[in-house]
């Protein structure tokens, strides 16, 4: 059973309504961080963040390291790979230097990504490109 807390594409993140544990702007952490269900992070961090839960990287956050989460909303600055099992939503303020892997990716206008974005394979993505020029090749 997954502990992912789903969010809708229309859901807007409002830190004043946050009910998750909060790491504020004045906190600096080096090392590895693991949590169970949900976390809002607004501080400075270097290391790995790991969870099957819901992660919010706030607008003030600076993260250098890899992130693995169940679902995520990103508004801060990240240097590292991000792997999300379900949905990731990049807010307009987000700056990402690294690859993103997720089932679903939503990117607001203004978000910056320097890296690859890979979504989970689906039936639509399984295409046979080996014989795409069958008519051209048959005329030779």
Identify the three-state secondary structure at position 53.
coil
Q: Is residue 3 part of a domain?
A: no
For residue 85, tell me if it sits in a domain: yes
- Rounded CA-CA distance 116/106 in Å is 14
What is the arithmetic mean of pLDDT over 4-24? Answer: 55
Q: Is 98 contained in some domain?
A: yes
- 1 part of a folded domain: no
Number of domains into which the chain is organized: 1
Indicate if the pLDDT at residue 138 is higher than 90: no
Taking the C-alpha atoms of residue 4 and residue 37, their distance in angstroms, rounded to an integer, is 7
Distance CA 134, CA 94 (A): 44
In a domain, 28, yes or no: yes
Q: Is residue 5 part of a domain?
A: no
What is the pLDDT averaged over residues 104-121?
93
Q: Would 49 be classed as within a structural domain?
A: yes
Task: Give 108's contacts (C-beta < 8 A, 6+ positions apart).
Answer: 89, 90, 91, 92, 94
Please, are residues 85 and 69 in contact by the beta-carbon 8 Å criterion?
A: yes
44-75 per-position pLDDT tens digit: 999 999 999 999 999 999 999 999 999 999 99
DSSP3 helix / strand / coil % (the chain, rounded to 5): 10, 45, 45
Domain-embedded: residue 118? yes
Query: What integer pLDDT is reported at residue 132 of this predicted model?
Result: 76
List the domain range (segments joined by +) for residue 61: 15-138
- Of 52, 50, 49, 53, the closest CA to residue 63 belongs to 49
Residue with the larger pLDDT of the pair 27 and 6? 27
């Amino acid at each position: 059973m997954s502990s992912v807390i789903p969010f809708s594409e229309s859901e807007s993140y409002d830190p004043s309504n946050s009910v998750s544990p909060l790491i504020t702007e004045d906190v600096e952490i080096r090392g590895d961080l693991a949590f169970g269900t949900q976390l809002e992070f607004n501080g400075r961090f270097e290391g790995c963040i790991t969870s099957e839960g819901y992660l919010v990287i706030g607008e003030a956050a600076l993260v250098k390291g890899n992130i693995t989460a169940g679902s995520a909303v990103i508004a801060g600055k990240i240097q590292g790979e991000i792997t999300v099992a379900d949905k990731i939503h990049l807010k307009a303020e987000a700056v990402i230097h690294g690859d993103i892997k997720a089932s679903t990716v939503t990117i607001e206008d203004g978000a910056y990504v320097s890296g690859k974005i890979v979504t989970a394979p689906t039936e639509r993505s399984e295409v046979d490109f080996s014989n795409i020029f069958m008519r051209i090749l048959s005329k030779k």
